[in-house]
Structure 1
């Protein structure tokens, strides 16, 4: 049965993939953004009622991150508004190992008990669609992180889990902690990209103050706070373990980082070395 789904963050790393899957399956997607035909603005709750009107399900990706102070209250207020509007399913994208994000999960569940939480690790796509793309293209990725291992997860897996939960009541009330199938250091992840592209790409560990000094001037105060929070607190080894959320939600294993790197190299998102065979998928 076709559903009406509000996708908040429909142009973001996960929201875009969620919207594509829902549309391909014949569902009607309403993008949740300030520029949409029916505007949605996190900072203006008067826009929420119209955006939620007639919606069966809602995907919630809060920008810039649920760890930002005040986020828990805001997403809980949205979840309460969704319940009043008759929304049946709500999927909250959460962050793994972030106390602020877990507070947001609890706040949402308090007003929308059947909400599905998708708690995600660092995205693979940070290297091809996010802040790490420029350094990958330049051939040197310098980050304030050492040998801590991270279970990088593919945004396509997150989107598949979210799309399933948005369209099937069986996922109501579930917490899906999603990771990739292996633990990698950031240096090892960069090495996988180098192997997939046939290029020399260096990884350089930095001190956090030195990294923050290099941050782009256009970053907002919230974004700068988030960068420092993630690298200082979250990347301390607390997430160096695998979880089974993808398997439980979808009945299949998650995509590994090497497969992501090969597929992304095949799209032309990264330049490749001369004569390097690139797998297209």
Structure 2
């Protein structure tokens, strides 16, 4: 597949979309950066795009042959809006689609798992990225990061469970390869960092890097659900609490070689990412 076409990056101002757009632009690829406000992104053609406004879909797709797909945030049934769009994209000439999913959601599973199941039947070339939990959850605008900054506490129901936390820059690097290599991987790719860490480990590293004490406070599943439901829809809060319980049961205690295999370099470790993001002001 030629890399001289146009890539439509949906969610181009988000955690992985912004990094994917930046890396595509730096490599000289032509791209269209889609966001709800059509926010300018360096090196990209900005375009307004809203999953829930089909009137924005046609202009965003015009001339695109590849897609990077970030599902609508917090939607427990994203297939309802994503699948009609993907059928429109196929009809408009899109040949390759790379979908951002999650290591916690298998093909055919809940939420974006239903989109994952349909993707191979929609496009000649495809890949599904299934990253573990983002390292940036502790460093950006996520509820964990806010709690760390404001209170010095990290709240979870993960117990002693460990996670192969992954750097969003590494996710973007894999996304770029999946979008631009001669052949798409044609599979789902589980992405992790180089080591599995518990939330106590995360708190200890953040304490050392920031010089401010950070403590992991372990909650029960019900306590976490009640806490999250203060800020989020109750069903979404329940889903997040359930994912923490799965971590406590060992569901995310793994590492993979996917980042190294697709990018040719090892994935970044949490300490180096915390130091980098603290220095950059992200």
- Closer, same or farther: CA 155–143 of 1 in aligned 2, 3 Å: same
Say how many residue pairs are matched.
Answer: 267
1:104-183 equivalences under 5 Å are 104-129=115-140, 130-137=142-149, 138-183=151-196
Asked whether the 8 Å contact 1:73–1:107 carries over to 2, the reply is no
Asked whether the 8 Å contact 1:89–1:172 carries over to 2, the reply is no
Unaligned runs of at least 5 residues, structure 2: 39-45
SS of equivalent residue, structure 2 residue 28: coil
TM-score for both structures, normalised by structure 1 = 0.86
Task: Tell me the CA shift for residue 49 of structure 1.
Answer: 1.9
- Closer, same or farther: CA 113–73 of 1 in aligned 2, 3 Å: farther
Unaligned runs of at least 5 residues, structure 1: 270-281
Asked whether the 8 Å contact 2:154–2:215 carries over to 1, the reply is yes
Per the alignment, residue 63 of structure 1 pairs with 72
Asked whether the 8 Å contact 1:89–1:169 carries over to 2, the reply is no
Task: Tell me the CA shift for residue 122 of structure 1.
Answer: 0.1
Partners of 2:276 and 2:103 lie apart in 1 by 25
Asked whether the 8 Å contact 2:157–2:241 carries over to 1, the reply is no
Asked whether the 8 Å contact 2:76–2:236 carries over to 1, the reply is no
Aligned-pair Cα RMSD in Å: 2.2
- Closer, same or farther: CA 232–72 of 1 in aligned 2, 3 Å: farther
Asked whether the 8 Å contact 1:72–1:107 carries over to 2, the reply is no
For the pair 1:79 / 2:80, whether they are aligned, the reply is no
Partners of 1:173 and 1:74 lie apart in 2 by 23
Asked whether the 8 Å contact 1:171–1:249 carries over to 2, the reply is no
1:53-99 CA-partner distances (Å, limit 9, x unpaired): 1112110010225xx54223433333222211111221101111222
Runs of 4+ residues deviating >4 angstroms: none
Asked whether the 8 Å contact 2:193–2:267 carries over to 1, the reply is yes
**More divergent stretch after superposition (188-197 vs 119-128):** 188-197
1:240-255 equivalences under 5 Å are 240-255=253-268
Asked whether the 8 Å contact 2:224–2:241 carries over to 1, the reply is no
Asked whether the 8 Å contact 1:141–1:190 carries over to 2, the reply is yes
1:87-128 CA-partner distances (Å, limit 9, x unpaired): 122110111122224332111122124211111100000011
Partners of 1:213 and 1:106 lie apart in 2 by 32
